[in-house]
Structure 1
Amino acid sequence: MNIKNNCLVILASVALLAGCKQKETPTSITADDIKSHIAVLADDSLMGRKPFTPGENKAIAYISSQFKKEGLAPGNNGSYFQDVPMVEITSTPSAIMALSGAKGNINLNYMTDFVASTRQELPVVSLNNSPLVFAGYGVVAPEYKWNDYAGLDVKGKTVVVLVNDPGFKSGISNFFKGDTMTYYGRWTYKYEEAARQGAAGIIIVHQKEPASYGWNVITNSFTGAKLYLQQQDKHLSRCKVEGWMTEDAARKLFAAAGITGDFRALARKRDFKAIPLNMMASLTINTKLKYSTSHNVIAMLKGSTTPGECVLYTAHWDHLGVGKPDAKGDSIYNGAVDNASGVAAVLSVAKAFSQLKDKPKRSIVFLAVTAEEQGLLGSEYYATHPIFPLNKTVADLNMDALGSYGETNDFAITGKGQNDLDDYVAEFTNADGKKIVGDKNPGAGGYYRSDHFNFAKVGVPALDINNGAESTEHGEAWGKQKQKEYNELHYHQPSDNYSADMNTAGMAQVASLLFKIGDKLANETTFPGWKPGSEFKAIREKSMQK
């Protein structure tokens, strides 16, 4: 009797272990497959894959053809494409922003002291003697019991706010998130909040450490022609003027209002109240407007039992087009790593799912988005015009600029600690003897700088993952050097090119991990959520009640 019971226990244990055995990644996810896709997408003939160019047409035709080749269905009501209507606005501000007050005048010089642009689709916008108000960090964060606009009427006024959030360099790890930037610290949020409050204009004070970049990045990125999604109201709900000023210019402005010393420390006090600066701003911006339509590419594998719920994979197909030649005379910004690598990985994951004998219970959706380099526009458009309901979208798994330096012993999660997807990563990496690391510079707000963020913003748990620095073959110091070389020499440069000897094994490693995570999610009945303290938790919980 005991022998029989023992045998039953052993048999039950074997069955349990067999059921718990992790699914092997299909052999279709290979470094060579990924490399072959990069070779096509980063070829000179695509002229840098800029939206609205022949390069776009070639890129999206290739991506859709690969989806079709693998037997994946069109994801948008019979089409592989989602139209993304955009407007290109070229803002030309007046050379001087005039600040006037009873104690004197201050003239700020364009590019040297300030930059400014507009989203309003009008030929001319102006601030005419708009009262200036120092609104601290420009943050309204209910979960942190923080409101810089409390009791403040800013209609017709221009708010001056600080970059990053009150927690940065406060010395208190649980004040906001300490030195880890929340979304409230991101410049895009500050522009949005000022518009919600009804301000006529907003000027962010640039400081290098809390911004994580120098003034030269501001003058390069916030000037000239910019793409925006077309809006029914022509962006008239946005502030007339969105801009930045240097720290030196801000100190002159604040000093005239009697504000001296550490104004960051002043603004992070719990009892801080917005301060009128007793000066008025005048500025005119002339614009040129151009309208056109770009495209997201979307395909799907229909779920076997709950097809109305889906797991989403994303990567942006666009890059910077043709620009300023480098020292070698190359002017085509091919973006082999950024982000032909991510699209190639998504195509490999799509192939792997298409070859499964047992199809996943939930649908798998593959989305290659446009205009990430112009401000995450393709993903923003999908998130605000979703084809699959957001409260039925289980998660977004994003791949952007995967490392070209081979396999690693670790994986880097952007925004580690935000949501339950971290736990899925841990399950598979622990099983493989790998490690997880977070942001190396959490104060820079990396979680808000790629397409996954637009899904987080509407509540969908989103994961952005990349290779770590610890090279399996050469060690961590070598891996860090390779990361440094890419960031300093190749990022957003013509030298981000395909080469036959580039090491794409690490890209396949990331793609394989995300295949396993997506497959697990697609065969569950539960939904991952956001960790306590995440600024996106309440949004998701509200959407899941619908």
Structure 2
Amino acid sequence: MRLIYLALIPALALGACKKVDSEVDSSSLPEVSVPEMSDATMKEITEKLSSDEFEGRAPGTPGEEKTITYLVDKFKGAGLEPGNGDSWFQNVPLVEISAKNTSPLTFTGKDGASMSFAERKDFVAVTYQEQPKIDVKDSDVVFVGYGINAPEKGWNDYEGVDVKGKTVIILVNDADFGTESLEGEFGGRAMTYYGRWTYKFEEAARQGAAAALIIHDEAPAAYGWNVVESSWTGPQFYAQTANGGADQTKVNGWIQKAVAEKLFSAAGQDLNKAMAAAKTKGFKAVDLGMKASLSFENEFAKKDSKNVIGILKGAKRPDEYVLYTAHWDHLGRCTAAPDGDDICNGAVDNATGTAALVALAEAFKKQGAPDRSVIFLAVTAEESGLLGSKYYAENPVYPLSKTAGGVNMDAFSMTGLAKNLTVIGKGKSQLDAYVAAAAKIEGRTPDAEPTPEKGFYYRSDHFSFAKLGVPMVYFEGGDDLVNGGKSAGEAAAKDYTENRYHGPKDEYNPNWDWSGVMADLRLYYQVGRMLAMTDTWPNWNEGDEFRATRDKSRAEK
């Protein structure tokens, strides 16, 4: 996932693009009736996909074969046609890399004194390079603050320092973290892509670093060390590249904040003061006067995983498309729970979203084909860095310039009915009008996400399409519950994040309350159906980071 720096394209190039630049008035959108939607479908598919039989649905495993075979059967049963010619699949070339015999991570000072830290407990480390042995030895350690190089903002944490062959220590999130407002160099409280770990590793590689280690701090990371440990150990999947990842850092990883505190103390530095300094423009990287060493061996294999694609062809404009996406994959086998359970079943994340693709397909078929074609795309390797959606977006079966927009579904809330809904990235695109219209019909309020500092807009598959210009909307069940209000919603979200997210206990529960799920599903249906019944081409709002790419795409069409 590479950040695309967008240059504005003159709007006059869009003169021939029908309605692409017009504002979308929610009151002018077509009314759509919602057929009865099957909670039986949702329950059956969610329970099946998250059963131990599917082994956590990791790409390239028997669990994948079972998953994609099952999905094709369900897509057929819903009345869809194969979405890639006569095939239901799009191959996604991946490489699986599994580290073994990982050494301790050691830091050695100028006086020869060293500190040693244990894998999993203190750090996690992987490589994107297809090399049988990774060996970082006596690499100079440099603190580079947030690791951001943003020329358009006049911000460069690497300015004046050469980190080639060195180990960089990086803060998670971006320099505005902790700001209450949405004003600031990096969107204030709202995380930008510069705050995501993906960007930080990409930039470290561009700078020539040998290793990049992010300091885990729970609040700005938005999840605990347990999530890092389960996600960054065991087999890891990456996109296949012509050079086998040779242009990447040797090591990418995370260290506990307590490890960073000991490292800075040994270097005669204060971590808290260094973190404060990193928030200011003009921050200068700090050579800690320490050397890092780490080694591990790798087993790697190239594998084709698969996106699953079904289509309901449009009745009037079949060469225009509306997209529904959800990721079918999860983490497979992971760090075991205290009871020995080591299967990350991914029931909520994202068997629920995958089940929703089928339930929506059934509803669309029941209601009859809309004007535009509707694509139902179950993507692979979201948990490995949005790799399946990224591959489709860069190698689209259906042109992105002819894709009017789309809806992404990732983890339905099992907390019951909510008075509101949470729109991730609210205010970015004209698809907000479609969400507002659907919410009004259902008597719900579309609210902006309450925790924009967590960067959810950059953490799911809609981002792969957004950065290539396709307007995508991603919303979730709200946090203001009918029973218990916001306090109950916040407590439920906290409980899921701390006890089930990316862990073995994200399992199907027969006692779940499905009322909120089905209410959300109605909204997903209405937004997609309205978009499929109009001839408008929603755009990103003026000034949004993705606007220029969409303008160019539509103009070229």
Cα contact 1:406–1:505 (8 A) shared by 2: yes
Matched residue, 2:74: 66
**Deviates further, 376-385 or 496-505:** 496-505
Structure 2 residue aligned with 1:244: 254
Q: Distance between the aligned counterparts of 2:294 and 2:265, measured in 1?
A: 21
Quote the residue 1:287 is aligned against. 298
1:171/1:414 CA distance change after superposition, 3 Å: closer
Partner residue of 1:75?
83
What residue is the counterpart of 2:6 in the other structure?
Answer: none
Matches of 2:179 and 2:32, distance apart in 1: 45
Q: Percent identity?
A: 45
> Residue 162 of structure 1 contacts residue 204 of structure 1 at CA under 8 Å; is this kept in 2?
yes
On the 8 A contact 1:299/1:367 being kept in 2, the answer is yes
CA contact (8 A) 2:326 2:409 kept: yes
| Cα displacement (A) at 1:123 | 0.5
Structure 1 residues 162 and 30 mapped into 2: Cα distance closer, same or farther (>3 Å)? same
1:119 matched to 2:106? no
Q: TM-score, normalised by structure 2?
A: 0.84
CA deviation vs aligned residue, 1:212-244 (integer Å, no higher than 9, x gap): 334444334323322222222211121111122
Structure 1 partner of 2:139? 130
Judge which range, 161-170 or 34-43, deviates more: 34-43
Q: Distance in 1 between matches of 2:504 and 2:82?
A: 33
Whether 1:339 aligns to 2:360 is no
Match of 2:282 in 1: 271
Cα displacement string for residues 238-264 of structure 1 (whole angstroms, at most 9, x for unaligned residues): 111112233344345445666435222
Instruction: Tell me the CA shift for residue 429 of structure 1.
Output: 1.0
Query: Is structure 2 residue 194 aligned with structure 1 residue 187?
Result: no
CA distance in 2, matches of 1:248, 1:496: 28
Q: How many Å separate the matches in 1 of 2:386 and 2:462?
A: 9
1:24 aligned onto 2:33: yes
Cα drift, residue 268 of structure 1: 2.0
Shift of 1:467: 1.2
Alignment equivalent of 2:45, drawn from 37, 42, 47: 37
Deviation at 1:19, TM superposition (A): 8.3
SS in 2 for 1:355: helix
For 1:257-406, what aligned pairs fall within 5 Å after superposition? 259-260=269-270, 261-321=272-332, 333-357=344-368, 359-406=369-416
Equivalent residue number for residue 85 of structure 1: 93
SS in 2 for 1:383: helix
Displacement of 1:516 after TM fit? 1.4
Work out the CA distance in 2 between the residues paired with 1:103 and 1:329: 44
What secondary structure, in the 3-state scheme, does the structure 2 residue paired with 1:281 have?
A: strand
The AA in structure 1 aligned to 2:401 is: N
Please list, as runs of the form range in 1=range in 2, the aligned pairs for 1:143-222 lying within 5 A after superposition: 143-170=152-179, 173-175=182-184, 176-222=186-232
Residue 422 of structure 1 pairs with residue 432 of structure 2: yes
1:166 offset after TM fit, Å?
Answer: 0.8
Gaps of 5+ in 2: 1-26
Q: Supply the distance in 2 between the matched residues of 1:216 and 1:58 (Cα, whole angstroms).
A: 28
C-alpha displacement of 1:124: 1.1
Range with bigger deviation, 307-316 or 42-51: 42-51
User: Which whole-Å CA distance do the structure 1 matches of 2:512 and 2:163 have between them?
Assistant: 53
Shift of the 31–171 alpha-carbon distance from structure 1 to 2, 3 Å rule, reads: closer
CA deviations 1:457-512 (Å, max 9, x no partner) are 33333222221133446655555554455444444455544455533232222222
CA contact (8 A) 1:23 1:516 kept: yes
Asked if structure 1 preserves the Cα contact closer than 8 Å seen for 2:465 and 2:472, the reply is yes
Alpha-carbon spacing, 1:151–1:461, altered in 2? closer, same or farther (3 Å) = farther
Local SS of the residue matching 2:367: coil
In structure 2, what is the equivalent of residue 11 of structure 1? none
Structure 1 155/407 Cα, relative in aligned 2: closer, same or farther at 3 Å?
same
Q: Secondary structure of 1:83's partner?
A: strand
| CA contact 1:93–1:117 (8 Å) conserved in 2 | no
Q: Aligned partners of 1:493, 1:349: CA distance in 2, in Å?
A: 28
Cα distance, 1:78 vs. partner?
A: 1.5
Q: Structure 1 length as normaliser, TM-score?
A: 0.86
Q: Do the aligned partners of 1:163 and 1:211 also contact (CA within 8 Å) in 2? A: yes
SS of 1:416's equivalent? coil
In structure 2, the CA distance between the partners of 1:326 and 1:157, relative to structure 1 (3 Å rule), is closer
**Hey, what's the Cα distance between the residues in 2 that align with 1:194 and 1:530?**
30
* Paired amino acid for 1:452: H
The whole-number CA distance in structure 2 between the counterparts of 1:150 and 1:50 is 40
Give the Cα–Cα distance (whole angstroms) in 1 for the partners of residues 340 and 166 of structure 2. 47
Matches of 1:253 and 1:482, distance apart in 2: 36
Q: 1:170 to 1:480 in 2, by over 3 A?
A: closer
Higher relative contact order (CA 8 A, sep 6+): 2
Number of matched residues? 528
- Name structure 1 gaps, 5 residues minimum: 1-17
C-alpha distance in 2 between matches for 1:489 and 1:206: 18
Moved more, 167-176 or 100-109: 100-109
Residue 56 of structure 1 pairs with residue 64 of structure 2: yes
Q: 1:538 to 1:129 in 2, by over 3 A?
A: farther
Conserved? CA contact 1:345–1:508, under 8 Å? no
Contact 1:316 1:451 in 2 (8 A): yes
User: Whole-Å Cα distance in 1 between the matches of residues 491 and 141 of structure 2?
Assistant: 46
Task: Determine if contact 2:29/2:437 at 8 Å carries over to the other structure.
Answer: no
User: Quick one: structure 1 residues 533 and 184, their matched pair in 2 at CA, closer, same or farther if it must change by over 3 Å?
Assistant: farther
**2: CA distance, partners of 1:331 / 1:118:** 23
* In structure 1, distance between residues paired with 2:529 and 2:413: 23
Deviation at 1:174, TM superposition (A): 1.1
Q: What is the distance in 2 between the residues matched to 1:271 and 1:318?
A: 42
